[in-house]
Structure 1
């Protein structure tokens, strides 16, 4: 068992810095409220190191202090990668040998989400962090529908293209929009396809919890930092296994 605390100036001192906004104008009472909140969050002692009024009735705070909580790393639950990483050459070869056709991937940002950086990083040829995107793979046909795509439009395009996998990117998270949109998409695809014919549903975005795939009705969630190679390897692994 490994019990740890955050590190600031010395090992185990528990020092952390956090920021938040309170819906009150900036004055001494507001700073007192910020310290009260910090105390209830387990920071003791805590100090306000920055406070700035935001508009007429909000104040932004940065608070520094020592947390009283301990973390047991043995109790941390993570989603481990359960498939091998393939190079583009290995992925192309597996598709050609097992599927004997090009693999079709349709991707989009659904709902009102207009942030295409994530979906473009995975799908576009230029890729991300030195890795080529899925357009680079000769045996993968990529259809990138872009931003603000409605769920019915995504389902129709996936059916028309006979998609093997559908990639959904969600960056906007206000009021849990990414969760609601994902649930809507999963329900629509389950209604449009027989259980054994539905394409893989893969969701990505920086605020997703990778352990929520089953809860959201999708096959896989890729969170912040996922690479094109990881996504391609997962798709190939799942579809090659399905065709065996």
Structure 2
């Protein structure tokens, strides 16, 4: 049988291949004592771990405690059956992006970015937009063919749309870090709906990034692309110029 027929099955390993060893951590809303440790162990059993053990427990104060549990996972997955949706584009470096923008647009690409609504975490939007960028990858402010406008954090969606109209933006880039109670879904839907109401959705390239953002989720919410952890300015800019070129093809 071929590998495709039998699949490409994988499971976690720690000491030896396929031993299924995993480590997980969680908090419980109870004070730390022996009963709480046992509760953590039994929760791991209910999750399906074999022979789980609490290897670390810590009091968090005010009736909360934290646990690290080590155990054996019995499950495996078939990689041959997995295909994750992702933006389709040719990844370019900074010079290549600048050259393509100059060739195709014959002007600077205007990108307006922000953390919207109650989200006050600027680390994501700053990593993509700011001059210094992140992890050795320069941000969009350093691209001489991009005019990058970073509006910062806690920006109302209405204000972001108004600024995009004022600046004649080609791209709106949104970062969403806060995801408690799925607030990011409400925020992102609101922005997409506002652009639709203004008749701008087809004209502006709409991109979102964040730790719990996937391309599949972004598309479901009406965005053109979604970028998760490990994405840099060149990923966003490469997608943007390719998407702009596609939309403006003769």
How far apart are 1:4 and its partner, in Å? 1.5
Corresponding residue for residue 99 of structure 2:
93
State yes or no: 1:33 paired with 2:39: yes
Q: Call closer, same or farther: CA 1:226–1:194 in 2, change over 3 Å.
A: closer
State yes or no: 1:235 paired with 2:232: no
State yes or no: 1:212 paired with 2:217: yes
How far apart are 1:142 and its partner, in Å? 1.0
Corresponding residue for residue 175 of structure 2:
169
2:135 to 123, 129, 133: 129
How far apart are 1:81 and its partner, in Å? 4.6
How far apart are 1:194 and its partner, in Å? 4.5
Check whether the contact 2:192–2:201 (CA below 8 A) recurs between aligned residues: no
After TM superposition, the runs of 4+ consecutive aligned structure 1 residues lying more than 4 A away are none
- Separation of aligned partners in 2, 1:195 and 1:107: 16
TM-score, normalised relative to structure 1: 0.94
Larger deviation, residues 67-76 vs 144-153: 67-76
2:152 to 132, 139, 146: 146
Corresponding residue for residue 181 of structure 1:
187
- Separation of aligned partners in 1, 2:202 and 2:221: 18
Check whether the contact 1:99–1:243 (CA below 8 A) recurs between aligned residues: no
1:10 to 4, 16, 22: 16
Structure 2: tracts of 5 or more residues without a match: 1-6
- Separation of aligned partners in 2, 1:224 and 1:116: 14
How far apart are 1:205 and its partner, in Å? 0.7
Count of aligned pairs? 243
Check whether the contact 1:98–1:243 (CA below 8 A) recurs between aligned residues: no
Q: Cα deviations across residues 170-220 of structure 1 (Å, max 9, x unaligned)?
A: 1111111222211111111111125533x1110011122332122111111
Which secondary structure does the structure 2 equivalent of 1:135 belong to? helix
